[in-house]
């Protein structure tokens, strides 16, 4: 026998006899999800959201042990984050997490795509392999997250993609043709994906410079993240104009984490300020929302920190 249970005015979509699962759902509780949040900037984002966001905040990590250790760290500070496994390189892990948030919360209110990797400057891995591995996580997996989670973002939701100012400097080193495409408002997600794949293919053949690309895989991956954010912002404005969803990419600044050098000027908590600012844009706000422009057109996202979170 199956049944539907009404909770907080919402119909539980599960058809099962497990009452306890239904009672665990809370469609009225807001929820924030942060990828790659077992350490670094992601953990600092969760810390800040636990203090400032009125809802459940999820640490997610590809490794359950590292994720649970991070929960304990914040518990020791008196904070109560929740945890769900999420490896953005594993589409099944993404789908499982998406189904969980859909079932328990009927979607997500805040999504912060923070997970990312970077090779150390001294790493001797061939450039083509670095390009493939870097783009796989930073661009293609972040895009997979968006594919499965953007449909879950609720009205009034906020999406923040953690990019990098290196996307701006990398863009300046691209050929005029590539720059034109990345700046254009008619670039599609399919075209962007094809361009990112072209970079990887050309890098593996040692032909990326002739192809008009800079010699920096990380920067190219973050160009992809920034442009993807703009594409998604335009799409959500078109397809869900009344839902007030805001999508932005930002740079956290140069932050002392495993990715960056120990001499970086910002602490992880300082690096979290801009992503958290964008995640907590007030209800009814209409911008920033996937903006770009020249410096004179104020392409800087202004945040409470004086640091620039440069989209372009």
Binding site for ligand NDP (CB under 6 A): 35-36, 38-42, 61-63, 66, 87-89, 114-117, 137, 141, 162, 164, 251-252, 254-255, 257-260, 264
Q: Which is nearer to ligand NDP, 165 or 236 (CB)?
A: 165
Q: Which of 81, 63, 62, 64 is nearest to 72 (CA)?
A: 81
| Residue 26: partners with Cβ closer than 8 Å, 6 or more residues away | 7, 8, 104, 105
Give the residue ranges of DSSP H helices in 28-175.
40-52, 64-75, 91-105, 127-135, 142-149, 166-172
Q: Supply the minimum distance, in Å, between the C-beta of residue 89 and ligand NDP.
A: 4
Q: Supply the minimum distance, in Å, between the C-beta of residue 75 and ligand NDP.
A: 18
Instruction: Compute the C-alpha angle 44/47/51, nearest 5°.
Output: 140
Q: Which is nearer to ligand NDP, 162 or 227 (CB)?
A: 162
Q: Could you check whether the bond before residue 257 is cis, i.e. omega within 30 degrees of 0?
A: no
Q: Which is nearer to ligand NDP, 22 or 310 (CB)?
A: 310
Q: Supply the minimum distance, in Å, between the C-beta of residue 2 and ligand NDP.
A: 35
Q: Supply the minimum distance, in Å, between the C-beta of residue 7 and ligand NDP.
A: 31
Q: Which is nearer to ligand NDP, 22 or 57 (CB)?
A: 57
**Catalytic-labelled residue, pool 58, 105, 218, 277:** 218
Instruction: Say whether 58 is catalytic.
Output: no
Sign of the alpha-carbon dihedral angle for 164, 37, 143, 273: negative
Please give the positions annotated as active site.
218
């Amino acid at each position: 026998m199956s049944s539907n249970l009404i909770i907080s005015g919402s119909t539980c979509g599960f058809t099962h006899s497990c009452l306890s699962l239904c009672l665990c759902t809370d469609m009225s509780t807001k929820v924030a999800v942060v990828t790659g949040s077992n350490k670094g900037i992601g953990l600092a984002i969760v810390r800040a959201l636990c203090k400032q966001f009125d809802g459940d905040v999820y640490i997610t990590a590809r490794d359950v042990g590292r994720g649970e250790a991070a929960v304990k760290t914040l518990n020791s500070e008196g904070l109560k984050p929740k945890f769900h496994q999420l490896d953005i390189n594993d589409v099944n892990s993404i789908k499982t997490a998406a189904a969980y948030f859909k079932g328990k919360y009927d979607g997500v209110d805040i999504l912060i795509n923070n997970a990312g990797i970077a090779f150390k400057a001294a790493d001797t891995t061939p450039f083509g392999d670095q390009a493939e591995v870097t783009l796989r996580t930073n661009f293609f997996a972040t895009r997979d997250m968006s594919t499965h989670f953007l449909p879950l973002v609720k009205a009034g939701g906020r999406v923040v993609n953690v990019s990098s100012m290196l996307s701006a400097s990398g863009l300046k080193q691209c050929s005029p043709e590539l720059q034109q495409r990345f700046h254009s408002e008619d670039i599609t997600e399919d075209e962007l994906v094809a361009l990112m794949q072209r970079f990887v293919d050309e890098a593996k053949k040692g032909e990326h410079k002739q192809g008009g690309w800079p010699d920096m895989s990380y920067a190219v991956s973050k160009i992809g993240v920034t442009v993807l954010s703009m594409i998604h912002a335009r799409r959500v404005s078109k397809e869900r104009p009344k839902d007030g969803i805001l999508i932005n990419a930002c740079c956290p600044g140069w932050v002392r984490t495993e990715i960056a050098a120990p001499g970086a000027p910002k602490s992880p908590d300082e690096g979290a300020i801009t992503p958290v600012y964008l995640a907590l844009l007030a209800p009814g706000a209409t911008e920033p929302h996937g903006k770009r422009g020249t410096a004179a057109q104020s392409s800087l996202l202004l945040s409470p920190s004086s640091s620039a979170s440069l989209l372009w």
